[in-house]
Amino acid sequence: MSDQNAQLSASLEDYLEAIFRIVSKKSAARGRDIAKALGVRAASVTGALRLLAERKLIHYAPYEVITLTPEGRKEAEKIIQKHEVLKGFFTTLLGLDEDMAEEGACRLEHGLAQPIMERLLAFTEFVQACPRCGEDWRSQFLDRCTARSKPPCAECLTGCQERLRRAATEVKDAVPQPLTEIQPGVKCVVKSIKNRRTVARRLIEMGVQRGTLVEIKRVAPLGDPIAVKVRGYHLSLRLEEAKSIEVVPA
Amino acid sequence: MSDQNAQLSASLEDYLEAIFRIVSKKSAARGRDIAKALGVRAASVTGALRLLAERKLIHYAPYEVITLTPEGRKEAEKIIQKHEVLKGFFTTLLGLDEDMAEEGACRLEHGLAQPIMERLLAFTEFVQACPRCGEDWRSQFLDRCTARSKPPCAECLTGCQERLRRAATEVKDAVPQPLTEIQPGVKCVVKSIKNRRTVARRLIEMGVQRGTLVEIKRVAPLGDPIAVKVRGYHLSLRLEEAKSIEVVPA
DNA sequence: GTCGTATCTTAGGGCTACCTAAAAATGAGC
DNA sequence: GCTCATTTTTAGGTAGCCCTAAGATACGAC
């Protein structure tokens, strides 16, 4: 009945997303976990699983654990990316708190078209990487939002000139360094990717290129692997791979 | 059965929005117009109209023309505001074309929570009003999006210093002028509202205050009324009202 | 007046996605 | 190997929102 190639409904996307998150944590999902994660009854999950299996997005058989097929994983990553891009925009640029950003991303992700998501991501990264929009710019905005204080625009501008002058020389003199030199929590901009055949494949497939923002999330005790966030994807890089990515801090 | 105070479903919001738009143009709506606007069959419209009438949002009787109640108008304006805020963000900041912005706004508006919408609006206006983010900043972003050209960041920054210096004096010297002096199409920032009792009431209810962005859309032949767009609302001001709003161009 | 067309309503279905209740399968303890 | 609590599935129902088909109403042309 249901067309295999049809777009997923919003609720099926939710199911797939939840399965992805559970599988990421525990390697396999059970119906019960999914029901709890989404706040629905187990009976509803069964129906959804059948539909997802019909579309070949999950491996599913009654009473068996549930895992994602490669296509299912790809589809889920796309959904998660939308979610993360929205959430990143809400927290980083709009300055909303974590909870509201999470809630808002959940409610908007299904309607967000791919090209708009791309633009939103590009914009978020652009603002973060642009020296003209520094931390003071962000706090100007937040002051306006919360305190409704009048922006001391003239002072801000004269102060900003000084900052820009410094930034101009910094940008010119910035020496790219390998990703491995960057501290966790710091965001940086990709300047070049070496070893294009090996590392680059995965990254380029995801749309990572010169100018893309990368954030180090966590470094394992021995420095390998390195968990990074790029373009709304969380992924882990080998030390070797990270070495061949050159960046400058944003 | 259906709770009168319940939130409107996404599709009922669409109906209400469509009715508002039709009523704005032609003073009253017919089922057929609504069906055409939303691309559904007339029979579906009938059901929706009954539900909207049950919630006292529209005046509806079989075979009669449809108009909005005051509550319906208010509700519709809220929905339209969300739509316009999203669309404004997509076109003004993300640089998406009209059609994609329209389509995207339609698909996202129902999920957009009020506080997030407020923030998004504040951000959009902030960026437009901030001298640090001028036209060159915008085109830097768009170049990156489309041509994927490498941003000449250092040059941009040195060029920007000059611009900022000029902007700093401009901001300091900017003399507020009445809204009536502004040309259609120009965006400007509200500096003060005089006659707080009369004009201000309507505007303050909408959230217009010092710092809010106003855009002149159209001036009638005799200079009255003046159609403006503020905070996603389209409204028309009397000449008298417009005179008492002082602004500086953004 | 009545005929015809355009418009609107009613009636009856289908689909999605949720629910409850009860049956079936699983698996740990005895 | 049987029993029982837990988990999962099946079955059947509800609500929202869309559809088609057919009947009701309005209104201009004759």
Q: What is the pLDDT of residues A172-200, one digit of tens each?
A: 777 888 999 898 988 998 988 887 777 77
pLDDT for position B147: 67
For residue B226, tell me if it sits in a domain: yes
Higher-scoring residue by pLDDT: A219, B173: A219
Residues B152 and B190 in one domain: no
For residue B123, tell me if it sits in a domain: no
Rounded Cα gap, residues A243 and A240, in angstroms: 5
For residue B187, tell me if it sits in a domain: yes
Protein CA B44 to sugar C1' D19 (Å): 8
Question: Of B33, B56, B74, which marks where a domain is finished?
Answer: B74
pLDDT for position B150: 58
Range with the lowest mean pLDDT among A18-22, A27-31, B228-232? A27-31
Residues of chain B with C-beta less than 8 angstroms from the C-beta of A100: 113, 115-116
The tens digit of pLDDT for each residue in B177-235 reads 899 989 898 899 898 888 777 777 888 888 888 889 999 998 888 888 899 999 999 88
Question: Of B173, B198, B227, which marks where a domain is finished?
Answer: B173
For residue A115, tell me if it sits in a domain: no
For residue A18, tell me if it sits in a domain: yes
CATH number where A19 lies: 1.10.10.10
A127 pLDDT higher than 80: yes
Rounded Cα gap, residues B202 and B197, in angstroms: 9
SS3 of chain B: CCCCCCCCCHHHHHHHHHHHHHHHHHCCECHHHHHHHHCCCHHHHHHHHHHHHHCCCEECCCCCCEEECHHHHHHHHHHHHHHHHHHHHHHHHCCCCHHHHHHHHHHHHHHCCHHHHHHHHHHHHHHHHCCCCCHHHHHHHHHHHHCCCCCCHHHHHHHHHHHHHHHHHHHHHCCCEEHHHCCCCCEEEEEEECCHHHHHHHHHHCCCCCCCEEEEEEECCCCCCEEEEECCEEEEECHHHHHCEEEEEC
Protein residues closer than 7 Å by CB to strand C: A 1-2, 9-12, 14, 38-41, 43-44, 47-48, 51, 63; B 30-32, 35, 42-43, 45-47, 49-50, 62-63
Protein CA B148 to sugar C1' D5 (Å): 62
- Please identify residues in chain B, positions 61-100, with a C-beta within 7 angstroms of any atom of strand D: 63
Residues B156 and B187 in one domain: no
For residue B93, tell me if it sits in a domain: no
Nucleotides of C under 7 A from a protein CB: 7-12, 15-22, 25-26
CB contact under 8 A, A108 and B104: no
B17/chain A closest Cα distance in angstroms = 18
For residue B207, tell me if it sits in a domain: yes
Average pLDDT over residues B119-144: 89
Supply the range of the domain harboring residue A184: 177-249
pLDDT for position A198: 75
Q: Which residue is nearest to nucleotide D14 (CA to C1')?
A: B1
| B119 contacts chain A (CB < 8 A) | yes
Question: Of A53, A74, A95, which marks where a domain is finished?
Answer: A74
Total domains, chain B: 3
CATH number where A235 lies: 2.30.30.90
Q: What is the mean pLDDT of chain A?
A: 87
Shortest CA distance from A125: residue in chain B: B141
For residue B99, tell me if it sits in a domain: no
Average pLDDT over residues A226-242: 89
Residues A146 and A210 in one domain: no
Residues A219 and A157 in one domain: no
Between positions 143 and 182 of B, the ones with CB within 8 A of A are: 144-145, 148, 150-151, 153-154, 157-158, 160-161, 164-165, 167-168, 171-172
Shortest CA distance from A161: residue in chain B: B161
Average pLDDT over residues A95-120: 94
pLDDT band for position A3 (cuts 50, 70, 90): very low
Residue B63, Ramachandran bin (φ over 0: left; ψ between -120 and 50: alpha; else beta): left
| A112 contacts chain B (CB < 8 A) | yes
Range with the lowest mean pLDDT among B21-30, B37-46, B153-162, B229-238? B153-162
Range with the lowest mean pLDDT among A107-111, B9-13, B99-103, B203-207? B203-207
Residues B164 and B185 in one domain: no
pLDDT for position A205: 83
Residues B181 and B245 in one domain: yes
Residues A194 and A166 in one domain: no
Q: Which residue is nearest to nucleotide C21 (CA to C1')?
A: A43
